[in-house]
Structure 1
Amino acid sequence: MDKTKKIWKKAKETAANKEQMKSTLAKAGDKLQKLAQNSNELQELKAKLQVLIRMVQSHISKEYKAFPISSIVLILFALAYFITPIDLIPDFIPALGFTDDASVVFLIVKKLNRDIKKFIEWEKEQFEEAE
């Protein structure tokens, strides 16, 4: 089984298990902290990943229920691909290591654009209500 198929399988399994989702979020958060701060591309990648992480967190807590499980599986695939150290281009290769990670994340963000916009709007409403 190739690497991508393994990651898809893992994403589907993870979507069915709250503890596995939390573990994936923690690992993605840890890896996000290690990304360089000086690259605009990496900053954009971090911003996109942070939204995806918040989406899964709100799904786990059942605070936000407006997206289908298929969207959660796609997000978990992106996060699993991101945290996997050995993928198409291994992360330890300088300047290129996150290229494939970024490509996968941006592709999934584009596919989930409508869900992401709705979620961000919902977050804004929650923030305004809290004030």
Structure 2
Amino acid sequence: MEKTKKIWEKAKKTATDKEQIKSTISKAGSKLRSIAENSNELKEMKSKLQILLRMIQSHISGEYRSFPVSTIVLIVFALVYFITPTDLIPDFIPLLGFTDDASVVFLIMRKLNRDIKKFNEWEEDQWEQAD
């Protein structure tokens, strides 16, 4: 639990610094691209992380500002946890390494369900306006 506490503290600090958020987004995107989609769980985790990346990118670009601070911190926590190679179960352990990452991502997605729905509606409106 000590590692999770350290990751939480890092996430809170990162959430207040646009440059650190951008760096975290970049690292998470790179790691996300490197994950093979050889299981349904990994495909679903990738999909969930892509939503979180779009949410935080839209927030820091100023396009979408409807998130409370707690949502931003939770998104950043999920991303920092995901990119940290030595979390509860180190990522280099085949198959098991992403188990804890997926659990954290899914729990945060459930917690942010309302914000995600609002964001998805906003994104759909943006696509419709672009047509």
Shorter-chain TM band: over 0.9
Runs of 4 or more above 4 Å deviation: none
How many angstroms apart in 2 are the aligned matches of 1:18 and 1:94? Answer: 33
SS of match in other structure, 2:96: coil
How many angstroms apart in 2 are the aligned matches of 1:94 and 1:3? Answer: 20
- Residue of structure 2 equivalent to 1:55: 55
How many angstroms apart in 1 are the aligned matches of 2:17 and 2:94? Answer: 34
1:38 shift after superposition: 2.1
Q: Which letter does structure 2 place at the counterpart of 1:105? A: V
- Residue of structure 2 equivalent to 1:105: 105
- Residue of structure 2 equivalent to 1:36: 36
Percent of matched pairs sharing the same residue: 73
- Residue of structure 2 equivalent to 1:27: 27
1:55 shift after superposition: 0.5
1:96 shift after superposition: 0.7
Higher mean displacement: 79-88 or 34-43: 34-43
Q: Which letter does structure 2 place at the counterpart of 1:3? A: K
Q: Which letter does structure 2 place at the counterpart of 1:114? A: R
How many angstroms apart in 2 are the aligned matches of 1:13 and 1:79? Answer: 13
How many angstroms apart in 1 are the aligned matches of 2:62 and 2:69? Answer: 12
SS of match in other structure, 1:106: helix
SS of match in other structure, 1:97: helix
**TM-score normalised by L of structure 1:** 0.97
- Residue of structure 1 equivalent to 2:81: 81
Matching of residue 121 in structure 1 with residue 124 in structure 2: no
Give the unaligned 5+ runs of structure 1: none
Q: Which letter does structure 2 place at the counterpart of 1:31? A: K
1:59 shift after superposition: 0.7
Offset from partner CA, 1:63-87 (integer Å, 9 cap, x none): 1011101100000000000000001
How many angstroms apart in 2 are the aligned matches of 1:17 and 1:95? Answer: 33
CA RMSD after TM alignment: 1.0
**TM-score normalised by L of structure 2:** 0.97
1:43 shift after superposition: 0.6
